[in-house]
Amino acid sequence: MNRSLAESFRYAYAGLVFAWRTQRNLRVHGVATILVVAVIVFYRLRLVEAVVLLLAIAVVVVAELFNTAVEVLVDRVVGLEHDPAAKIAKDVAAAGVLVAALGAAFVGAAILLPKVR
């Protein structure tokens, strides 16, 4: 199937809207992004520092989106039954978000802590 670029963007936007509406943690990351942008402006961070912070946040958001995709697909395939493999898939996807968030927190601390001292 050969899609147009505009159609591909529409599908991606629909996925982002779905995740935003259904995933509380994605909305939390959205608020965190706004706060980080405010900090970038307030402390007048260098461009490279701002880019690194925003890339760290983007990694967390991407991880959250993949986690959402895994959760939705697993729920669709498995349904309400308890399945050990489904639990592992969901737990591993959630662990990916955790690792990304911890990495972003470390990056944020490394860049911002010297500024507030």
- Which architecture characterizes domain 5-116 according to CATH? Orthogonal Bundle (1.10)
Which positions ≥6 away from 58 have C-beta within 8 Å? none
What is the rounded CA–CA span in Å between residue 18 and residue 20?
Answer: 5
Show me where the domains of the chain are located.
Answer: 5-116
CA distances from 58 to 46, 61, 91 (A): 18, 5, 21
> Beta-strand (E) ranges in the chain?
none
Type of residue numbered 78 = V
Mean pLDDT to the nearest integer, 77-99: 95
Nearest residue to 29 via CA among 70, 69, 59:
59
pLDDT digits (tens, 9 = 90+) for 14-27: 999 999 999 999 99
> Beta-strand (E) ranges in 22-63?
none
Residues that are catalytic: 64
Q: How confident is the model at residue 3 (pLDDT cuts 50, 70, 90)?
A: confident
pLDDT digits (tens, 9 = 90+) for 102-111: 999 999 999 9
